[in-house]
Structures are given as structure tokens and as C-alpha cells.
Structure 1
Amino acid sequence: MPLVLLETDGPVRTITLNAPERRNALDWPLLEELRAAIDTVAADTQARALVVRGEGKAFCAGANLENLFGDRTRPVPELREHLMQVYRSFLGLRDLAIPTVAAVQGAAVGAGLNIALACDVIVAGPRAGFGPTFSKIGLHPGGGCTWMLTQRIGSANTAAALYSGDVIDGATALRLGIAQELIDEPGARAAELASTYAERNPALMADIKRSIRLAESSDVATSLDFEATAQAESLSSAEFEAFAARFAQQ
């Protein structure tokens, strides 16, 4: 049975972590399949949006510690490179040019939280739990957790979350800005959002995504420079031409 499913619905792709009997905990075989699925989406010129979800009650319960980390007595530089390979298995989600939506219906803990955070938009269900639990188990955060949380909720809220290591419920995640929606059926809503995003001009959506990333890391002048170029290019798009024609007739 595949540990990761990749499904197609028109221009929308869905990646499903498919090990519900272990709450989609991550081991090397699952991560290898996840990396392959992300690479397939990246190479798919017909893909316009992606949903990431977990089968069963959990989104992803985090790492299978024995399988994923291996010999923890190895020298730190060797362990560091090993961990970077783990991170690369899912952080390819951040590099996709298309909009990505995580549907989090249950627990998203540790590395599972990172997979959700690597998506552009998170839709949470009433039983969702976002667990930056690293400090509780004596482990430093990894996989981009510190950076991605800080981008979403700021340094003070990230400090509070990482220091305590508590699981954050869906309502609190929505209030903080980890999740963008809280809804009874997060999978259906994520698919709906992805379908809406997929209807947009793909070049425009890619530029919007790039513009957001620039705004995360650049000054306002750099952001304005890219916005001016991208907006100038979009002025001649078929969609804007049609809108301008309708506007002129009012």
C-alpha cells in the first residue's frame, strides 16, 4: 500500500499521507514517497493548486524516532547532514510555484506541524492540534519550524509556543494566525479553496506567491520593485483586459 497518495482532480493535485494506523508518523519510506510526490507536482505543468492532507484521524503525528533519526551517537556534523536530508523531504512544498493548502483535521505534531506550516494556507478542523512539542521531549525545533512559525505568528508568540511545547488547539491556532480557517470539514474546504485558486491565471498566482516570499525577507523597496514589474506585466493579461472592458461599459 502506498504511504503517500497523489491524486488529480482537474488542475488540483492532492497529496495524502496514507499511514493512518500509525497516525501518519514519518519514517524514511514515507518521506521518500512524499519527496517523490512533491517533485512530481513541481514538474506537472498542468497543476494549478495543491492540497496536502492526512488519512484518518491525524494529519501527521511527527517522526518515527527510531527509524528516522538512526544512530543518535554519531558526530554532530554527520547528524546535521542527516537531519537536512529529512527536512528536504518535505520543505520542497515551500518551493512550489502553485498555491498550497493544508487540511489539518487532527494532530499535526513536530515534523507533522512543519509539513502543514510549509503550505501557504492552513484550514483546521475542530479536532486539529498543532504541536510544536520539541522542548517537552528535550529536542531543539527543526525542519524550519522556528522560522515558519515566526513568519506566521511573530517572535513573541513563537517563543511562547516553543518554550511551552504545548499542543495548540484549532481555535487558538486561528486566533494566532497559524490556521487561516477553522471549519467542520477542513478537507472539503481545502479542496474548495484549491479549486478557486486553480481558476486564477497561473502566471499571476506564481508572481503573487513570489511577491509574498519577497515581502517576508526583503525591504519595502525590493518588494515595490517586484510588484511594479509584475503588475505592469499583468495589465495586459486576458483577465484584466476583460475586466477593463466590463468596467468601461458601466
Structure 2
Amino acid sequence: MTDTAVPPILTRREGAVLVLAIHTPGKRNAISAGLYDALAEALTAARTDAGVGAVVLTGADGYFCSGGDLNQLAKRRELPPEARRERLEGLHGLIRLLRDFPKPIVAAVEGGAAGAGLSMAMGCDLLVAARDAVFSVAYVKVGLTPDGGATAFLAQVLPRQMLTELCLTGDRVGAERLHALGVVNRLTEHGGADAEAIALAARLVEGPEQATARIKTLCREAMSNTLDAQLDREAEFMVEAQGTAESAEGIGAFLNKRTPDYVALRSRR
């Protein structure tokens, strides 16, 4: 099989959870031609698919993503700056798509996530990792600078000194340390990240879809909004939520001491 015949992602369904696996055999799932477009196409379709309630982004064959293919990056030296920027926007467009996706996205990291692979993992809403997985902002080791929002994501959770150390050294940091720092949501034993991420995503599918999308927006904007701006945003969403069938179901279930059934509610739309 030639490289061009290898699909850049593998997809499968686990109930209402769509699993997308980065797939570059023999290269620790380094970013291949067509990966960004394939992921963007899958996410765009999932956005309006009522059967998909959440997404898990993982890597095939026990490794999340080792980042950019250096053979491909070396060829970009031959391109003018405008063309290099155009290629880079494939990654940045995907990161924006992950950010704005209304349904929960959970990253499942086995093996490791480096460079743009780290950016994609951190661009998800939640991150599950095997204890022996490693993460690296590896750009400096090949004379490059971070992209894909790596510095923005890490700056939200790490002190400046630690962020700077990771970016200037390119050293690998283990999942257990990132879990202690609050970057990783769940730790699993080796080989367990996919199953844990799918279970977490399936739990989120049971929740209120519209409220979930609003909560995702609030959590994202809280990092940059002033208190006044965030209060206004919370008020806007609360007023909207109070008038929805979801809140009627949730409040009614609580008052009647039963479990709310948001899945059935969605199926009636």
C-alpha cells in the first residue's frame, strides 16, 4: 500500500461517540498530507449529525501524534512565506474548529503527543492520558517555534517560567506531572486511554446538548474575559437556558426525584 492510499484518520462509532484516530503507520502518527482536511471534514459532518453526541480524538497503534513530518517541513523552506503561512493555516483552522465545536471532544493520548500533536490534544475539551505517555513542545530542537496554539493552551494552566522552560528546552514531560498540574483530566494504565476517554465521552452524551454547548463557550471565554464581560455572558446564556425544553426536563426530573432523560428529549426534536 502506498502512502497516498493510507487514510489519514480511522473512524468508528461507539454508540453516540464518534472516535477519530490519527493514522500514519510507521511514523508514530506524524501529520500526513490530508490529515487536517480529513479531521475538519469529519468534525463538520459530526456537528450536525444528531446521532453523534461527543467525539474522541486519539491515535492509531498506541501513539497519539508525533507532530509535523520533518521531511515535509524541510520542503517548506523552498516555498515563499505566503505559501508557508497558507500551509500552516490548515493546522490553525483545525484548532479553531476544535475550539468552536459545540459537542464535547475528549483527547485520548497513548504513547505521546509532540509539537502539533500536543496542540491538537490540548485543543480538545478534556484530556485522558496513559500514565506512561509523554508530551513535548519539541519545536526548538529543530530550530522552529511553537504553533497550533501550544503556547496559548499551556499558558492557561502553567506558570510563565514552566511554559518557557518547556518551550526553550523541548524536554518531554510525563502525563503524571501534567495531571498533577491540571492539564490532564484522567490518568489510566498503559493501553487504557481510549476506553476511559470513550466512557467519559459517553457520560457527557447523556447531558443536555444545548446547555453543554453553552458551557463549553463559557469555559473557553472565561480565560480571556473580564469579570464584567463574563457576568454578561453568563446572564445571556442563563436567560436563554431557562426557556429551553432541556431546563424544563432537568428541573422537572429533580423535583420529581427521577433521572432526566435528555437523550429522549433530543430524539423528539
Whether these two folds match at TM > 0.5 is yes
Matched, 1:57 2:62: yes
SS in 2 for 1:71: helix
- Superposed CA deviations along residues 69-108 of structure 1, whole A, max 9, x for unmatched, are 6331333333223212333245422221111110101110
SS in 2 for 1:240: helix
| Partner Cα separation in structure 2 for residue 223 and residue 38 of structure 1 | 28
State how 1:115-134 maps to structure 2 within 5 Å: 115-134=120-139
Conserved? CA contact 1:107–1:130, under 8 Å: yes
Conserved? CA contact 1:28–1:68, under 8 Å: no
- Superposed CA deviations along residues 40-67 of structure 1, whole A, max 9, x for unmatched, are 2223233211111111131111111223
- Percent identical pairs in the alignment equals 32
SS in 2 for 1:190: helix
SS in 1 for 2:135: strand
* 103-112 vs 10-19, which moves further: 10-19
Matched, 1:142 2:147: yes
**Number of corresponding residues:** 247
Alignment partner for residue 225 of structure 2, among 218, 229, 234? 218
| Partner Cα separation in structure 2 for residue 27 and residue 94 of structure 1 | 22
Conserved? CA contact 1:170–1:182, under 8 Å: yes
Alignment partner for residue 198 of structure 2, among 178, 184, 191? 191
| Partner Cα separation in structure 1 for residue 226 and residue 33 of structure 2 | 39
Letter in 2 for 1:230: F
Deviation at residue 204 of structure 1 after TM alignment: 0.7
* 214-223 vs 227-236, which moves further: 227-236
Letter in 2 for 1:85: G
Conserved? CA contact 2:37–2:90, under 8 Å: no
Conserved? CA contact 2:14–2:198, under 8 Å: no
* 148-157 vs 124-133, which moves further: 148-157
| Partner Cα separation in structure 2 for residue 37 and residue 70 of structure 1 | 28
Q: 1:20 to 1:87 in 2, by over 3 A?
A: same
- Superposed CA deviations along residues 177-199 of structure 1, whole A, max 9, x for unmatched, are 22112111111110110001000
Instruction: Return the TM-score normalized by structure 2.
Output: 0.85
- Superposed CA deviations along residues 135-156 of structure 1, whole A, max 9, x for unmatched, are 1221111111111111232433
Letter in 1 for 2:7: P
1:162 alignment partner in structure 2 = 167
2:264 alignment partner in structure 1 = none
2:261 alignment partner in structure 1 = none
SS in 2 for 1:237: helix
* 13-22 vs 100-109, which moves further: 13-22
SS in 2 for 1:72: helix
Q: Which runs of no fewer than 5 residues in structure 2 stay unpaired? A: 1-5, 259-269
| Partner Cα separation in structure 2 for residue 189 and residue 131 of structure 1 | 22
Matched, 1:237 2:248: yes
State how 1:1-250 maps to structure 2 within 5 Å: 1-68=6-73, 70-184=75-189, 185-235=192-242, 236-246=247-257
Instruction: Return the TM-score normalized by structure 1.
Output: 0.90
CA RMSD, Structure 1 to Structure 2 (Å)? 2.0
Q: Which runs of 4+ in 1 moved over 4 A?
A: none
| Partner Cα separation in structure 2 for residue 226 and residue 241 of structure 1 | 25
Deviation at residue 171 of structure 1 after TM alignment: 1.0
Conserved? CA contact 2:28–2:63, under 8 Å: yes
